Amino acid sequence: MEIITEEQELLSRAGFNWREGGQGVRALVCEPLERDGFTNAFSTRAGGVSAFPQDALNLAGFDEDAAENIQENRRRFFKLLGGEWRLSACWQVHGPDVRVVRERADTRSEEERCDALTTRETGVLLGVKTADCVPVLLGDARTGACAAVHAGWRGTLAGIAARTLERMSAEFGTNPADVRAAIGPSARACCYEVGAEVIEAFKDKFPKAAAWFKTTREGHALADIQRANFDQLVGAGVEAMRVHVLPLCTMCRTDLFFSYRQEKKLHGRTGRLLSVIGKSKDE
Ligand SMILES: [Zn+2]
What's the burial of 121, exposed, middle or buried (CB within 10 Å: 0-12/13-18/19+)? buried
Which protein residues have a CB closer than 5 Å to ligand 1 (ion)?
188, 190-191, 249, 251-252
Whether 213 is in a domain gets the answer no
Computed over every residue of the chain, the mean pLDDT equals 94
Q: How far is the CA of 192 from the centre of ligand 1 (A)?
A: 7
Domain contains 38: yes
pTM: 0.96
What is the per-residue pLDDT for 1?
53
CA of 246 relative to ligand 1 center, distance in Å: 12
Domain assignment of residue 211, yes or no: no
Helix 225-235 and helix 160-172, axial crossing angle in degrees, nearest 10 = 30
Model confidence over 170-179: pLDDT tens digits? 999 999 999 9
Report the separation in Å between the CA atom of 50 and the middle of ligand 1, taken as the mean of its atom positions.
Answer: 24
In a domain, 48, yes or no: yes
CA atoms within 13 A on the CB side of 162: 15
- State the pairing for strand pair 243-245/179-183: parallel
Q: Is 193 within the bounds of a domain?
A: no
Report the distance separating Cα 9 and Cα 261, nearest Å: 28
How remote is the CA of residue 126 from the centroid of ligand 1, in Å? 27
Tally Cβ neighbours within 10 Å of residue 195.
Answer: 11
Helix (H) or strand (E) holding 150: strand 145-151
**How many Å lie between the centroid of ligand 1 and the Cα of residue 132?**
10
State the distance from the centre of ligand 1 to the C-alpha of 173, rounded, in angstroms.
Answer: 38
Residue 219 lies in a domain: no
- CA 262 to centroid of ligand 1, rounded, Å: 10
Query: Torsion-angle region of residue 207: left (phi > 0), alpha (psi -120 to 50) or beta?
Result: alpha
Q: Residue 112: its pLDDT value, please?
A: 85
Phi, psi of 129 (to 5 degrees): -105, 135
**209-267: pLDDT as tens digits:** 999 999 999 999 999 999 999 999 999 999 999 999 999 999 999 999 999 999 987 77
Give the Å distance between the CA of 220 and the centre of ligand 1.
16
Query: Into how many domains does the chain fold?
Result: 1
pLDDT at 155: 97
The CA 261 to ligand 1 mean position distance, Å, reads 11
Q: Which domain holds residue 150?
A: 6-188+224-278
Give the pLDDT score at 137: 98
Give me ligand 1 centre to Cα 212, in Å: 15
- What is the domain-level CATH number for residue 168? 3.60.140.10
Q: What pLDDT is attached to residue 111? A: 79
Q: Smallest Cα–Cα separation from 11: which of 23, 25, 27, 24? A: 27
Q: What is the pLDDT of residue 4?
A: 72
Count of C-beta atoms within a 10 Å radius of residue 42: 26
Do the domain assignments include residue 198?
Answer: no
Of the candidates 12, 263, 223, 265, which has an alpha carbon nearest to the alpha carbon of residue 134? 223
Query: If you measure from the C-alpha of residue 109 to the centroid of ligand 1, how many angstroms do you get, rounded to a whole number?
Result: 32
Q: Please give the pLDDT value at position 3.
A: 67
Q: What is the mean pLDDT of each run of 10 residues along the chain (283 residues)?
A: 81 97 96 98 97 94 92 96 92 94 72 93 96 98 98 97 98 98 98 98 96 97 98 98 98 96 85 97 71
208 within domain boundaries: no
